[in-house]
Structure 1
Amino acid sequence: MKKRLICLSLIFAMTATQIVPVAAARKDEVQAQKSATQSKLSDAQARVDELQSQKSALMNQISSTQQELVSVMTQVNMLNESIQEKETDIQATQKKLEEAQAERDKQYEDMKKRIQYLYENGNTSWAQALLESNSIADMLSKMETSQKVYDYDREALQKLKDAVQAVQDLEEQLETEKAELESSKQEQEGIQQSLEDQISSLKSSASDYDVQIASAQAQAQQYQQLIEEQNAELQQIQEEEEAAAKAAAEAAKAQNSTDQASESSEEQNTQTAEETEDSNSDAVTVDTSEEKKEEDSSSNTEETVEDDGAADTESGSQENETAEEDTEEETSQPVETPSAPAGDNNTAQEDQSQDNTAAEKPAEDVSYNSSIGEAIVAYAKQFIGNPYVYGGNSLTNGIDCSGFTQQIYAHFGYSLPRTSYAQAYVGKEVSWSESKAGDLIVYPGHVAILTGDGGIVHASNSAPYPKGGIKYTSNALYTSYVTIRRIAE
């Protein structure tokens, strides 16, 4: 019975020792898979961070473009109001013109009748004047009066003609100004449409980023779930190792107890045999003593081997437990996700903020260089008469208002942005009373160069010169302006 128990214990111990190497190999395999999954998770999370950063930059661009769109729409509304005012002025001028023309025609008809009367009755009148006159002085006085009437009619008619011409000139001027406003409005509406298309495209890109971010987040979630499954498997392997180690320890303990019981039984049997054989001969006694010594030596050897095996088993169990504790510590450590250095982002934002501040902050007061301003005006006037082309960039073959000012100032080494909206923020702002020749005046949707005599030189509209094209306009305040910027100092 005891031998059967010993055999079963040995079989169980051998089985447990075979399970441990298999579990250790699987544990190493799962650990390697987990490391690979953690690397993929880190890559997925880094991709999410990158996409979110790109989307954030895109949203900032959308916000900036929307602000520009609001400004352009405001300018379009201002231009619509200015156009309506011009139309009202034109209607009033047309009414004045009709009245002046009617008065001129009436005066002309009256004068014709008087001239006709004098012509038809001229001889009689002269003779009658001679006969009815009391003296030559009286006659000359009457003749002088007739001449004055004639001269008055002629002067009055000329004044009416001049008044009609002045009204006609005013009407043409108002029509020209209206055309310029409509051209500016058309340009701003083109910019507005472009900005709206740009915003639509940016929003579409933002939606694409949302899809990509959602996909990357879903992938990261899958990796996270896989890591949890691998952690669960590692936990199961650890529990199996602990169970195997515990079983091996119990088997070793049972084996040790069995060996001790067997040794005790053999000692009792030996003692009984000695007592029954005391009557035997000395030779037999000597042989029995030697056999006893051999048996004692054999028992001690077996006990030593068994004790060493139990110690080895316990040592292996302790090593397995130490390795499992290390595995638990590694498993419990959180997965670190790489992220962009906060310091670098802050530095980039500070640099960008400083650049924007430097671009928006007006320059300090500097004395105005009149020679440069006059040179700018003189150079700009060289191109008067050349055509206006929306979006054009040729001072000779066609250019629009902002392109004209950009290239004129560039000739003197001053860099301006391409659009009228952006040009409204360069240089130093000055008031109308402080403005000088060479300053940039910004209207709603239009820009021009002040000439210093109350006028402007600018690329006006697509009408043929002198109504359109690059031309000089004597009244810089033909409509309300947004700002005046001093570029050359």
Structure 2
Amino acid sequence: MLAAAIGIQPVYVQAKTREEIQQEREQKKSEQQGTQSQYKQSQSKVSSLEGQQDALEEEIQELDSQLVEVIASVSLMQDQISDTEKQIVKAQEDYDVAKAQEDAQYLAMKKRLRYLYEKGDTSYIEILSNASNWSGMLNQANYVEKLYEYDKQMLNRYILIKEEVAQKKNDLEDKKSDLETQRYELEEEQASMQQMIDEKRSQANDFDAQIAKAKQEAAAYKALIKQQNSELARLDEEENAIIKAEEERRKAEEAAKKAAEEKAKAEAEAKEKGAKSSDSGSSDSSSNRSSSSDSSSSSGSSSGSSSGGGLKTVPPASGSSGSDIAAYACQFVGNPYVAGGTSLTNGADCSGFIWAVYRQYGYGLPRNSSAMRSAGREVSYEAAQAGDIVCYAGHVALYLGGGRIVHASTARTGIKYGYANYKPILTIRRIVG
């Protein structure tokens, strides 16, 4: 089954080269950046529209409150007008009564004057004929001794009552006119406010449509970003498959080359020993067997070292740089991920992998990923170099340069290559240099 999978893999990888995949990835990333920008713009548009709509709703509520007050004022004003009209009617009635009393008093005085005339006293006739108005007649009557005090008092009283009632009626008419003017103005204000509320409610309904459209656009951009993420993940898998295939091919070529060299060496040694055996006789033959035994033992030991670990590793050199550490770590790509493990060949987790690599160079690092975030010194992503430790939330990786990393990824993918920015970076720590 493994052979079948290996047999299928090259056919899949040969469809695209690493360069083509990288170019396609860069293009997809560029497209995704544009999509993310549009998505943010659409979200901002939704927030802006919702804010404007909220402000408009507050305006409508405020206008509604004001409109209620205006309507109440109009109603109150109408009640006041009705009351004033009733008062005007009452004032008119009072005026009519006062006028009737004045007329009655006038008739009574005329009767008394006629009586005096019939008795022969002409002074009252002169008063009646010479006076131009009631006030004048009253003033002249003051000089007449025989005018009854009662008539004078009653005449003054009725005139005063009539004038007061007339003034009250005029005041009420003015008040009614003022109230009607206020009512008209309030009704105009009510109509204006109602029109304004209707317009703003129409705007609010329009905001509903705009917000719905903006949300629909945002959802479309979000779906497109998800699709683009899937495409980028697919490209990563394709490139990782190519890298793994290249690594396996390189290992196979190295193993074949080494086997050929060992075979040639063994044949040369056998040929040389055969020549010596012909010259030295039986003594040399015994020695040759001993040498052959030693050679077989050495060859078996070498073979056991290669097959026992599954991968022949190159030991690190002393005084190595971060690039040397990174290159050394790449030997173990394809080996398994084991939770809690620290074996570069049999399996390690993310922090165990980096811990074991640095341990080969004499560095003692913390054993877990969170503690590694404090190891060494921090450097920026722009200043990152090969051998630096890239720290994520709950994960660490070894930086290779050019945006690439090597890390013990998951139990499914094992130790593999990847991209440093495949998820948010918390910090980058430099141990060497």
Give the TM-score of the pair, scaled to structure 1: 0.48
Cα deviation for residue 169 of structure 1 reads: 1.3
Cα deviation for residue 230 of structure 1 reads: 0.8
CA distance in 2, matches of 1:332, 1:168: 92
Cα deviation for residue 65 of structure 1 reads: 2.3
Q: In the alignment, what sits opposite 1:30?
A: 21
Q: In the alignment, what sits opposite 2:203?
A: 198
Cα displacement string for residues 252-299 of structure 1 (whole angstroms, at most 9, x for unaligned residues): 1221122223323443555577789xxxxxxxxxxxxxxxxxxxxxxx
Q: In the alignment, what sits opposite 2:79?
A: 88
> Does residue 213 of the first structure (1) align with residue 204 of the second (2)?
no
| Runs of at least 5 residues in structure 1 that lack an aligned partner in the other structure | 1-15, 277-313, 338-489
Q: In the alignment, what sits opposite 1:156?
A: 161
* Residues 119 and 274 of structure 1: CA distance in aligned 2, closer, same or farther (over 3 Å): same
* Residues 201 and 137 of structure 1: CA distance in aligned 2, closer, same or farther (over 3 Å): closer
2:272 to 261, 267, 282: 267
- Give me the identity figure in percent: 16
For 2:40, the aligned partner's letter is: D
CA distance in 2, matches of 1:166, 1:104: 13
For 1:333, the aligned partner's letter is: A
CA distance in 1, matches of 2:80, 2:173: 13
Structure of greater relative contact order (alpha carbons < 8 Å, 6+ residues apart): 1
2:173 to 163, 168, 173: 168
Preserved CA contact (<8 Å) 1:72 1:192: yes
Q: In the alignment, what sits opposite 1:400?
A: none
* Residues 125 and 87 of structure 1: CA distance in aligned 2, closer, same or farther (over 3 Å): farther
Deviates more, 1:102-111 or 1:25-34: 102-111
Cα displacement string for residues 399-429 of structure 1 (whole angstroms, at most 9, x for unaligned residues): xxxxxxxxxxxxxxxxxxxxxxxxxxxxxxx
2:193 to 158, 164, 188: 188
CA distance in 1, matches of 2:275, 2:98: 168
Q: In the alignment, what sits opposite 1:332?
A: 419
Number of aligned positions between the proteins: 275
Cα deviation for residue 64 of structure 1 reads: 2.5
For 1:196, the aligned partner's letter is: R
Preserved CA contact (<8 Å) 2:240 2:418: no
Preserved CA contact (<8 Å) 2:88 2:173: yes
Q: In the alignment, what sits opposite 1:71?
A: 62
Q: In the alignment, what sits opposite 1:110?
A: 101
* Residues 30 and 228 of structure 1: CA distance in aligned 2, closer, same or farther (over 3 Å): same
- Cα root mean square deviation, aligned: 3.9
Q: In the alignment, what sits opposite 1:249?
A: 254
1:44 to 26, 35, 38: 35
Counterpart secondary structure, 1:141: coil
Cα deviation for residue 328 of structure 1 reads: 4.2
Cα deviation for residue 74 of structure 1 reads: 2.2
Cα displacement string for residues 78-137 of structure 1 (whole angstroms, at most 9, x for unaligned residues): 222322322222222122111111111222233344445656786345325849x9xx99
2:49 to 54, 58, 65: 58
Cα displacement string for residues 350-370 of structure 1 (whole angstroms, at most 9, x for unaligned residues): xxxxxxxxxxxxxxxxxxxxx
* Residues 212 and 129 of structure 1: CA distance in aligned 2, closer, same or farther (over 3 Å): farther
* Residues 96 and 165 of structure 1: CA distance in aligned 2, closer, same or farther (over 3 Å): same
CA distance in 1, matches of 2:63, 2:142: 78
For 1:171, the aligned partner's letter is: K
CA distance in 1, matches of 2:196, 2:147: 73
Q: In the alignment, what sits opposite 2:135?
A: none
Cα deviation for residue 236 of structure 1 reads: 1.0
CA distance in 2, matches of 1:137, 1:113: 20
* Residues 194 and 271 of structure 1: CA distance in aligned 2, closer, same or farther (over 3 Å): same
| Runs of at least 5 residues in structure 2 that lack an aligned partner in the other structure | 1-6, 125-140, 282-313, 315-326, 334-399, 407-416, 425-433
Q: In the alignment, what sits opposite 2:323?
A: none
Q: In the alignment, what sits opposite 2:239?
A: 234
Counterpart secondary structure, 1:142: coil
CA distance in 2, matches of 1:181, 1:190: 14
Preserved CA contact (<8 Å) 1:42 1:336: no
Superposition map of 1:81-480 within 5 A: 81-116=72-107, 123-124=114-115, 126-128=117-119, 130=121, 140-142=145-147, 146=151, 149-150=154-155, 152-267=157-272, 270=275, 327-328=404-405, 331-334=418-421
Cα deviation for residue 60 of structure 1 reads: 2.5
Give the TM-score of the pair, scaled to structure 2: 0.54
